[in-house]
Amino acid sequence: MDWRTARDLIEIVGGQSHTLDLEAHSSMFQDHAPQLSALLERAGVQAVARTYSEFDRDAVEAAARYKIWMCTANLAALITSCATAAAMSWALAVNDARWLQAGLLQNGDMLLGAIASSAAMTGAVSLYVLRHGRLLESWMAKRAAAESHRTAYFEEVVKRAVAQPAPVALLALEYFRRYHFDVQKAYFLKRARQHERSGQKTVALGAVGAGLAALTSVVGLTSEYAQHVMGALTVNGAALGAFAIGREQLTQDHRNSERYIRTYANLVELSRKLDDVRDAAQEGGAQAVLEFVMAVDEHISNEHRQWLEKTEATKAAIARLEEILGKRAAAGNG
């Protein structure tokens, strides 16, 4: 068997699916690649596959919990800031605008104050759950464990394969290439682009906030009422700008985009060596397969190790949100 045949076998069986249902892979390859199927059925390989599946499922659930509470806290901080500023401006403006003194409108400042207080309470609860529930640490730990077991799975497969005849090593290399190497390249490129787009949205939000905050310096106002309205817009613009800053601190979009595209570029550089590794494996140099796998996993593991830095940055953002909510709550009570 040459490496082209091995590649085609893996592609035919895999079809359009790149799903990492590792426990099902042994049965998938039973007809077209029985040697690889037998390898994937080994107890040691299956044990790592099951462990990966469990940690991956837990990590997905932990990520969903964290993101819900974190988004709630950040949005609550924005609403608290805007509603507090609007309530103070309303109380000043109502004396100069008769139409604001009619019916329920005269109590607008009380309504806005209630909204600010409710948002502050919601934010405080969210931050309490985030901090004391250790949702971020739980997510990062479970995701790191899942990724560690995924790389361990493929390394286990390849280590067992290189000790067998050349066709098995070729099949293992193509299996690794399709379900790990190509998947990781696609993942880092996709995430880099997602973070770039998200970062652009944050910049746009910040720009709108900066524009509103600068209104009073570029617009001449004679009416006291207009000054109150413009003052409210200015404060809300500052709140929107603060929200954008907080969003960037939480998502680390620009930093992550640069990191992911760099990791993607490193993996693409390694892919240039793939044909050489294929040729070496075909000629009996199976050790080259293992060295290639270890080189790929080293780049991926370097990226995973940087998650700890993200954890620290997000903790700082959470502390900043607590400070904002505390100040706004104090202002509302005053």
Secondary structure of 276-329 as H, E, C letters: HHHHHHHCCCCHHHHHHHHHHHHHHHHHHHCHHHHHHHHHHHHHHHHHHHHHHH
pLDDT at 161: 92
Which residue, among 194, 189, 187, 161, has the nearest Cα to 175 in the 3D structure? 161
Residue 175 inside a domain? The answer is yes
What one-letter code names the amino acid at 198? S
Cβ atoms of 328 and 116 within 8 Å: the answer is yes
Query: What counts of helices (H) and strands (E) characterise the chain?
Result: 14, 0
| Range(s) of the domain holding residue 228 | 45-333
Share of the chain above pLDDT 90, in %: 33
Lowest-confidence segment of 23-27, 42-46, 285-289, 306-310 by average pLDDT: 306-310
Torsion of CA 195, 197, 203, 205, to 10 degrees: -110
| Number of structural domains found in the chain | 1
Q: How far apart are CA 183 and CA 56, in angstroms?
A: 15
Residue 294 inside a domain? The answer is yes
Query: How many CB atoms sit inside 10 A of residue 222's CB?
Result: 6
Residue 133 inside a domain? The answer is yes
| Residues 115-124, mean pLDDT to the nearest whole number | 90
pLDDT at 230: 73
Consecutive H or E run containing 164: none
pLDDT at 192: 94
Residue 170 pLDDT class (50, 70, 90 cuts)? very high
Helices 253-271 and 224-251: crossing angle in degrees, nearest 10, is 30
* 3-class DSSP assignment, residue 189: helix
Query: How many CB atoms sit inside 10 A of residue 90's CB?
Result: 23
Residue 4 inside a domain? The answer is no
Residue 20 inside a domain? The answer is no
Q: How far apart are CA 110 and CA 167, in angstroms?
A: 76
Residue 201 inside a domain? The answer is yes
Does the predicted TM-score (pTM) go above 0.85?
A: no
DSSP state of 100: G
* 3-class DSSP assignment, residue 58: helix
Cβ atoms of 152 and 269 within 8 Å: the answer is no
Q: How far apart are CA 171 and CA 281, in angstroms?
A: 10
Residue 64 pLDDT class (50, 70, 90 cuts)? very high
pLDDT at 60: 94
Q: How far apart are CA 187 and CA 182, in angstroms?
A: 9
Q: How far apart are CA 230 and CA 71, in angstroms?
A: 29
Name the more confident of 141 and 275: 275
Residue 15 inside a domain? The answer is no
Q: What are phi and psi of 241, to 5 degrees?
A: -65, -40
Cβ atoms of 39 and 168 within 8 Å: the answer is yes
Lowest-confidence segment of 10-19, 60-69, 114-123, 148-157 by average pLDDT: 10-19
Residue 34 inside a domain? The answer is no
Q: Write the burial class of residue 21 (CB in 10 Å: 0-12 exposed, 13-18 middle, 19+ buried).
A: exposed
Lowest-confidence segment of 22-26, 60-64, 138-142, 152-156 by average pLDDT: 22-26
Q: Which two tokens stand for residue 317?
A: 């953002």
Average pLDDT, the chain: 82
